[in-house]
Copies of this chain bind each other. A is one copy, B any other.
């Protein structure tokens, strides 16, 4: 280093190296920094070669250190940093899956998700991709396994229907992911948006998404949210409205809303939105029969302003509160 050259001094200072400048006449007295101290400041260990090469946990030493008069060298292979991509594959139709989701699936070495969703994307995966399929109910375990695979240095894709961060596996995975892995989240078209497109534009103004599944959430919490939707005159979109074992929750939710909205308020439902066999229908709060609904159905209840126009459900923007 040519002492006194401003660019070099600035570079040294930026690295936190101890730099003392002297008049040229005193250069012979400049203290040379201790090499191991310089290395410690730069990489966190005073060892110049092997420990520095191995500083990243999981690295493997490939060549032991060799010392010469001018340089000491050791070579290690760093463990690759793991990567978790949380990918929303959209509501079902292939042409509603984003190109970013497709690109992320193609680069994954490990893909995890519910078996039904993995089947949908099987043709997009590279040969040799490890597939971790789970059945309904094992989401938490599968999310944990996906994170563990990423921690082991692999490129992992965790997929979910719609948007993987909305009522899906992305959420438990991100609760477990730490700073040791890189995480990217690819948003997707949700079931609610696909349903709304089939019905018209029911989500044209303020709206709320509520899951009616009380498997993991106490019913009083859910009913309090439905009541809030009713009091706020929000368009309400119900996920998980019913299943074979849960047959009364939707009926109860509609009762709560009906106490605040006219009986003619539009209710729309769509089963298997954007998938083969899609079915949909419009009704009203007074006439809608919750028995038509199953676990593949989403139900949208309009606000007091929602209208049916030419067979389509539309919630307008313009709004004056009836009571104010």
Q: When each residue 178-211 of chain A gets 1 if its CB lies under 8 Å from chain B and 0 otherwise, what string results?
A: 1100010111111001101110111111111111
Q: What's the tally of chain A residues with a CB closer than 8 Å to chain B?
A: 79
Contacts of A175 in B (CB 8 A): 307, 309, 314, 316
| Secondary structure type dominating chain A contacts | mixed
Listed residue (A90, A166, A174) with the most chain B CB atoms within 10 angstroms of its CB: A174
Q: Does A34 have its Cβ within 8 Å of any Cβ on chain B?
A: no
A/B interface sample: 28 pairs, CB < 8 A: A86-B201, A90-B98, A93-B100, A97-B99, A98-B189, A99-B99, A165-B196, A165-B202, A165-B203, A166-B204, A167-B205, A170-B204, A174-B200, A175-B307, A176-B309, A183-B310, A183-B312, A185-B198, A186-B197, A187-B193, A189-B189, A206-B208, A206-B225, A216-B318, A221-B233, A225-B232, A227-B231, A228-B231
Interface residues of A (CB under 8 A from B): 86, 88, 90-91, 93-100, 103, 163, 165-168, 170-172, 174-179, 183, 185-190, 193-194, 196-198, 200-211, 216-218, 220-221, 224-225, 227-229, 231-234, 307, 309-312, 314-321, 324
